[in-house]
Amino acid sequence: MNKIMGLDLGSKTCGVALSDALGMLASAVETIRFEEDNYQQCLEKVCAFIDANKVEKIVLGLPKHMNGEEGIRAQISRNFKAMLEEARKVNVILWDERLSTVSAHKTMISANMKRNKRKKMIDTMAAVVILQGYLDARY
């Protein structure tokens, strides 16, 4: 089975997570860094990862306000979804990412991770939370 990738897109970083072959567990992979708001640069790095890992589906975090409304960050995610689908024949699912960063922080704190390490890993761990939420919802 091909893998599912989870993405937490920010303005300068993109956290990447990947499912296992069975599509049950999400694992942290890396944080892609790119020039601020240069989503084409991010896209190129994500596409290289898609090709190298035989990714069949992407779960992209959709940032919403707590009241459910979408702002500019949500529109950026929608635009990035369109860019991904045009660049690769891959199914991109937008996934509500509210509180994913909070959950990732709590997980890392409970694991006694040092603050400087948490700062480096937060985007990747948020991608894990997003992807695992999607994987769990399928069953």
- pLDDT tens-place string over residues 12-40: 999 999 999 888 999 999 999 999 999 99
Predicted pLDDT at 70: 74
Predicted pLDDT at 125: 83
Cβ–Cβ under 8 Å, residues 31 and 15: yes
Residue 107 above 80 pLDDT?
no
CA dist 69 and 78 (Å) reads 14
Instruction: Give the neighbor-by-neighbor strand order of the sheet with 55-62.
Output: 26-33, 13-19, 3-9, 55-62, 91-96
The pLDDT confidence band at residue 102, using thresholds 50, 70 and 90, is low
Looking at every residue in the chain, the average pLDDT score rounds to 87
Residue 116 above 80 pLDDT?
no
Query: What is the CATH class of 3-137?
Result: alpha beta
